[in-house]
Amino acid sequence: MSYQQIRVELLSTLLGAEIGGVDLKEPLADSVFAEIRRAFGEYGVMFFRDQQLTPEQHLAFAERFGPIDINRFFATVPDYPMIAEVRKEPEQERNIGNGWHTDHSYDQIPALGSMLYARAVPRTGGDTLFASMYAAYDALSDGLKATLEGLRGCHSSRHVFGAEGRARRGDLVGRIGNPELATQDAVHPVVIRHPETGRRALYVNPGFTLRFEGWTDDESRPLLEYLYHHATRPEFTCRFHWRQGSLALWDNRSTWHFALNDYHGERRLLHRITIQGSPLH
């Protein structure tokens, strides 16, 4: 189906599209938003360039997709507790999101998506990679699909955001906090049927998946590592280069992402809003 209200430019064959012809600071007509929502389902991650948004306008666009899911662990924008800061200052070494993951898979009802808006970007570097879990699932053999069909994955926030992960955080301390709130454990199907598109997607990730339900860590590790390697094949990915005023919206049910840490000595500040989702099956 073609798009009449927006411009859509693909970033790769299987994932990602830049959306043009839209000024997100203005209230969107229902017909325009309907096409944006359709593109979100079709491409998994969308990018909008050259947007000049206040925090209120950023929130208003996010709320068109659903209620806001307040992150427990990130520092927040002053006076805007629903907006998390993704910040790295020139003197800091570590960045947030430097590893393949999907947001909030440790929640009983994972987030629908995340919306990231660039306030300040480095002169070079700081790109974000995305991977399609639709493509990763589709490319599996019939035999492995059958094996995964009955499996469930155990996800947790504890090892990343809890006290046990504090020693590994380094200079992320202050940007990542509240370890006492890292009590989330969830079990989800390894293969989900997306609640909106109906497509099957692989739903494990290196950041928050611990093991298969009923399996030990040692038993789970070889198959999980195979899936992680498989899911990041280059043909399943796209890469986004940020500019100030860029906004990305990705589907946490069908994508992973990875924030590259290749801009030492530069400042990078983005504002993230997470959108509540629905149960996975």
Q: Which of 194, 187, 188, 186 is nearest to 255 (CA)?
A: 194
What is each CA distance from 258 to 97, 205, 207, in whole angstroms?
Answer: 6, 11, 10
Catalytic residue numbers read 101, 103, 257, 272
Residues 6+ apart with CB under 8 A from 62: 68, 115, 273, 275
Ramachandran assignment for 269, one of left (phi > 0), alpha (psi -120 to 50 degrees), beta (any other): beta
What is each CA distance from 217 to 83, 93, 154, 161, 232, in whole angstroms?
Answer: 35, 31, 10, 20, 22
Q: How many CB atoms are closer than 10 A to CB 90?
A: 11
